[in-house]
Amino acid sequence: MYLHGLLNEAERLLQTLAVEAALILAWAATEAILREAVRRRGVESTRATFAIRELIQTALVASILEWEEFKTLDEGWKLRNAVVHGFRPDALPPSIVRSLINTARRLLPSTPELVAEGQSYLKSVTYGYGLRQTSELLVTVQQTMPLLEEILGLSAAHISAEWDRAEGETGQSVVTLRLSDNWGAVTGTIRPAEFAKRATLRSRLNWLWGDLLEVRNHNQLKSLQPVASQEGP
């Protein structure tokens, strides 16, 4: 795959301390991969194509990038511009190029066959004591994980899921799902019977993911404000 090749070549150049050349290749691959990730998320620009700054900020708000990755890409973009226009940056740490490569590799489309059976794309998945006491329900919940991973998409690697069983308002058992990341957490409930209704189950998971996105976007936008104020009008 072409983009894999670019990243491999960037790594090779980085190992030989050709940092400027490695940066240019790493940025080319990262930008292409990021544009595709934004396209797959269904986000469109108001213009014919995304400007780089708009692309990076859009990817952050859409939860494609984590905050640290956003800062790395923002810095990498500035360094890349300096290099390709013939300016020598005051500093060009190899760690920036390494972080670009790592971010690009994370954003490359997942290859399911590379994931061992029973392994999850999520950062972590736990099943609480209450749920583990009901083996049939536990199996049902575990079989729901591929659907949850599909809904979370590229963000799955940053999300922790905590499943458990609790007593609902009517006294009947419900399954609880807590989704969390570095920006916050949300919790929802699913009735056992709803696991057999695919459309209802998808809707429940989508709503919960939407709640977490709302928390993330709120906090990420707050974090962006100091960046915008430093740049000025």
pLDDT tens digits along 95-147: 999 999 988 888 876 433 333 444 457 888 999 999 988 888 998 998 898 88
**Residue pLDDT, tens place only, 184-202:** 999 999 999 999 998 899 9
162's CB contacts (< 8 A; 6+ apart) are: 125, 126, 128, 176, 177, 178, 180
As a whole number, the mean pLDDT across the chain is 82
Give which of 214, 188, 216 is closest to 202, Cα–Cα: 188
Domains of the chain: 1-107 (1.20.120.330), 124-224 (3.30.160.100)
Task: pLDDT band for 1, please (50, 70, 90 cuts).
Answer: low
